[in-house]
């Protein structure tokens, strides 16, 4: 890696400080051309993990007063020589300092290039690098924790353990293939069988952890449906108001739905409010119903809300039809009004009794009970990531599934008395899949694709 890269590492905009990062063989040389420390020292004398105070200069002009952190190879984020210039925040100054770095020989870093270098220099494996993105993008505490655990290498270690198990047995297999005159085949087959069973079990646990991982990462996709004026928007407001921990807020993927994240016991809930459907008329109305159906079919959880002050109508029955065979909670809203026309005793709710709650979205009553119900339904309290390795990344999950399929095929080949070299092919592809997870066997395109998801300066 001959080039030295630079980029702004703090978020764009105005902040208390801004950080410009440089990494590469020329990092300190370039720094010396633009930075005049108050107490100058030769670079050899400056220890890693220290800071120096001084001024960034362009010729004779002072640009800013800064603190510079020094990291010396290989003890840095990228394993190269690195420095971080902490300047006063503000777009103009930070850009100016970056420009000075570039004018003096640094190249503009690509998104994720610092982390990519850490990977290419062998400081972290691909799996750990990917967990850096997960930590940055985390929408909940549990998700961030899972990311940190992966960065520490818990999943990498487990994958390595599995690989070692395979390799221990493969040595004997290679001997059998290379020197068929040695009669070790029988022993090897038994050994292979035991090893494959054990590997399959471990892969299977990892594969299953993805479901929890997915919940942690993507959240429970929750659709709020109900006829116009049932109280969908009021419910959403009540939920969001009580829970201050709104992590992300953005326009829904479809124009007329709103998606919002809240967390319940550390698990994100992605709320999809179909409020946009409410003003639909005639033709559009049909599209609305179609859309409700689609959203309902894709949701992990449906919150069906009914206006209990009005008789059950055709539209309500359609909604009841929609939630059949789905994880659903029925809310009888407006329980603050007297003389309800709908109660849990309506025959339409016969098979749903245990999931009915009376609430008042307006008075914010019953919201905690709703959250408890969701916790129960998804066993959120049982999702413990502290002692468990959780796979959260789809790329990893797919490779684990592929490797598991190969263990099944290898076992089948043994049962069918296939020659050992054919069995070995399956076992080698298990190793290849596992190597692709940690990055020992991935193509450049995949690497580029992974790092392109990073933000600049990371």
Encoded tokens for 395: 């790329």
The yes or no reply on residue 310 touching ligand GDP (CB under 6 A) is no
DSSP state string for 300-350 = SEEEEEEETTS---HHHHHHHHHTTTS-EEEEEE-TTSSS-S--TTSGGGG
Q: Is the Cβ–Cβ distance between 278 and 202 less than 8 Å?
A: no
Which stretch, 28-36, 145-153, 178-186, 360-368, contacts ligand GDP (CB under 6 A)?
360-368
Smaller CB distance to ligand GDP: residue 98 or 223? 223
Smaller CB distance to ligand GDP: residue 82 or 235? 235
The helix/strand/coil state of 232 is helix
The yes or no reply on residue 340 touching ligand GDP (CB under 6 A) is no
The yes or no reply on residue 54 touching ligand GDP (CB under 6 A) is no
The yes or no reply on residue 229 touching ligand GDP (CB under 6 A) is yes
Among 131, 333, 392, 393, binds ligand GDP (CB under 6 A): 333
Q: Give the whole-angstrom CA distance, residue 205 versus residue 103.
A: 52
The yes or no reply on residue 368 touching ligand GDP (CB under 6 A) is no
Q: Give the whole-angstrom CA distance, residue 141 versus residue 317.
A: 39
Among 246, 247, 362, 446, binds ligand GDP (CB under 6 A): 362
Which stretch, 168-176, 225-233, 338-346, 448-456, contacts ligand GDP (CB under 6 A)?
225-233
Among 22, 94, 230, 330, binds ligand GDP (CB under 6 A): 230
DSSP state string for 28-97 = HHHHHHHEEESS---TTTSPTTEEEEEEEEETTEEEEEEEEEEE-TTSSSSSS-EEEEEEESSHHHHHHH
The yes or no reply on residue 228 touching ligand GDP (CB under 6 A) is yes
The yes or no reply on residue 33 touching ligand GDP (CB under 6 A) is no
Q: Which helix (H) or strand (E) holds 8?
A: strand 5-8
The helix/strand/coil state of 263 is strand
The yes or no reply on residue 128 touching ligand GDP (CB under 6 A) is no
The yes or no reply on residue 275 touching ligand GDP (CB under 6 A) is yes
Q: Where are the alpha helices (DSSP H) in 104-153?
A: 113-120, 126-137, 141-152
Minimum Å gap between C-beta 244 and ligand GDP is: 21
The yes or no reply on residue 270 touching ligand GDP (CB under 6 A) is no
The yes or no reply on residue 364 touching ligand GDP (CB under 6 A) is no
Among 66, 271, 361, 427, binds ligand GDP (CB under 6 A): 361
For binding to ligand GDP (CB under 6 A), which residues are involved? 226, 228-234, 275, 278, 333-334, 336-337, 360-362
């Amino acid at each position: 890696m001959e080039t030295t890269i630079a980029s702004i590492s703090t978020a764009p905009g105005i902040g208390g400080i801004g950080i410009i990062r440089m990494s590469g063989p020329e990092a300190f040389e370039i720094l010396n051309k633009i930075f005049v420390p108050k107490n100058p020292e030769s670079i050899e004398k400056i220890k890693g993990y220290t800071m120096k105070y001084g001024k960034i200069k362009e010729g004779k002009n002072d640009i800013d007063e800064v603190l510079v952190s020094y990291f010396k190879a290989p003890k840095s984020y990228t394993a190269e020589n690195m420095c971080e210039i902490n300047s006063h925040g503000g777009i103009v100054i930070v850009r100016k300092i970056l420009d000075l770095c570039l004018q003096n020989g640094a190249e503009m870093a690509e998104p994720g290039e610092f982390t990519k270098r850490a990977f290419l220099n062998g400081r972290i494996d691909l799996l750990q690098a990917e967990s850096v993105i997960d930590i940055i993008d985390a929408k909940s505490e549990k998700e961030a924790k899972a990311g940190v655990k992966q960065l520490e290498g818990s999943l990498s270690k487990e994958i390595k353990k599995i690989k070692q198990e395979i390799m221990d047995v493969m040595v004997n297999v290679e001997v059998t293939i290379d020197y068929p005159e040695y009669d070790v085949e029988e022993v090897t087959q038994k050994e292979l069988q035991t090893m494959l069973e054990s590997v399959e079990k471990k892969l299977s646990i990892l594969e299953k952890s993805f479901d929890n991982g997915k919940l942690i990462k993507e959240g429970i996709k929750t659709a709020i449906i109900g006829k116009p004026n049932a109280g969908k928007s009021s419910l959403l407001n009540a939920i969001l108001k009580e829970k201050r921990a709104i992590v992300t807020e953005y326009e829904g993927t479809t124009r007329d739905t709103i998606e919002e994240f809240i967390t319940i016991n550390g698990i994100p809930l992605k709320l999809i409010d179909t409020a946009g459907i409410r003003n639909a008329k005639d033709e559009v109305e049909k599209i609305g119903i179609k859309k409700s159906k689609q959203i309902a079919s894709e949701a992990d959880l449906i919150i069906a809300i009914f206006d209990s002050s009005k008789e059950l109508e055709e539209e309500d029955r359609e909604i009841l039809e929609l939630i059949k065979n789905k994880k659903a909670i029925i809310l009888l809203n407006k329980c603050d009004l007297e003389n309800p026309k709908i109660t849990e005793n309506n025959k339409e709710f016969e098979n749903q009794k245990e999931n009915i709650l009376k609430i008042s979205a307006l008075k914010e009553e019953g919201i905690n009970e709703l959250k408890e119900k969701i916790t129960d339904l998804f066993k959120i309290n049982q999702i413990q990531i502290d002692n468990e390795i959780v796979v959260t990344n789809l790329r990893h999950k797919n490779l684990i599934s592929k490797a598991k399929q190969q263990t099944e095929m290898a076992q089948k080949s043994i049962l069918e008395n296939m020659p050992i070299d054919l069995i070995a092919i399956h076992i080698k592809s298990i190793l290849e899949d596992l190597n692709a997870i940690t990055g020992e066997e991935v193509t450049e395109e995949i690497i580029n694709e992974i790092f392109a998801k990073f933000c600049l300066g990371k």
